[in-house]
Amino acid sequence: MVALPLLVLALFGLVLVTLIVLLVLAAVAGSKRAAARRQGLAGLAHQREWEYRPPDPGLVDRFDGAPFGRGRARQAVNVLVGRHDGRPFTAFDHHHTTGSGDSSSRHTHSVLALDLGVHAPSLAVGPTTTMRRWVDSLTGRDIEIGDPAFDAFFTVHSPAPDFAVDVLLSDVREVMQHHPDVAWRITGDSLHVIRPGEHSPAEVDAKLHLMDALLDRIPERVWERLRADGPHQR
């Protein structure tokens, strides 16, 4: 009768020790992955003659829209600063915490921002989900540009519908057809591609090429009008 409780205690102890070991191994592996990623980003910066900054507090609330300005303990880390095809850009991890106590959560977003050279009205474009289609059908927020296939697949939001139509009724649509899962937005003086999680060095390269292609295909008349109009309300 005494042996059974002892066996149970021994098994419990074994399980507990195993869990502790697994947690330690997971933490070590995570630390190694983070260090390897930092080295990869720093190496990419060195190769491209960009600048790598481990943290940059000035970027925490540099831009408008989610995830900026949300939560607390906000950080901008693993920052890359440089030029791509002549355009200044910034890429970084944005961290913030929501909730408190046991219900607190830490959020990480990949942020890439490519400078426009001018201020522009806000414009957000992304693939249409079933839920988003339903919400927009009720609120009327989605802008249709007059291309049925595009309007069915992508959701467009902007306080300046004419600007959205001028930008999207162009070769910009061709670029988006090759990257149908990527959401992007123009806010203030920058084009942003933001997603949950962390980007790899290879993703930074790929996203910058995509963003540059989008800006290159915006009609020149749109750029001329933006330069003539000056700063816009966001």
- The SS3 call for residue 17 is helix
Q: What is the pLDDT of residues 17-38, one digit of tens each?
A: 777 766 665 555 556 676 788 8
Q: How far is CA 61 from CA 67, 77, 112, 189, in A?
A: 9, 13, 14, 14
Mutual orientation of helices 220-229 and 161-168 as an angle, nearest 10°?
Answer: 150
Q: What is the pLDDT of residues 131-158, one digit of tens each?
A: 455 445 444 578 999 999 999 899 999 9
Q: What is the pLDDT of residues 98-117, one digit of tens each?
A: 998 888 899 999 999 999 99
CA separation for the pair 190, 84 (Å, rounded): 13
Q: How far is CA 67 from CA 50, 82, 102, 123, in A?
A: 25, 22, 22, 16
**Lowest-confidence segment of 35-44, 68-77, 172-181, 190-199 by average pLDDT:** 35-44
CA separation for the pair 163, 199 (Å, rounded): 30
Percent of the chain whose predicted confidence (pLDDT) is above 70: 84
79 band by pLDDT with thresholds 50, 70 and 90: very high
- pLDDT given at position 26: 58
Which of the pair, 97 or 140, is modelled with greater confidence? 97
- pLDDT given at position 101: 83
Angle CA 160–165–166, to nearest 5: 100
- pLDDT given at position 23: 66
Q: How far is CA 216 from CA 26, 153, 165, 175, in A?
A: 44, 22, 16, 10
- For the cut 90, the answer to whether the pLDDT of residue 72 exceeds it is yes
- pLDDT given at position 147: 93
Percent of the chain whose predicted confidence (pLDDT) is above 90: 68
Q: What is the pLDDT of residues 36-65, one digit of tens each?
A: 888 999 999 999 999 999 899 999 989 999
232 band by pLDDT with thresholds 50, 70 and 90: low
For the chain, how many residues are written?
234
Residues 167, 116 contacting (CB under 8 angstroms): no
Helix (H) or strand (E) holding 173: helix 172-178
Domain ranges of the chain: 1-49, 50-229
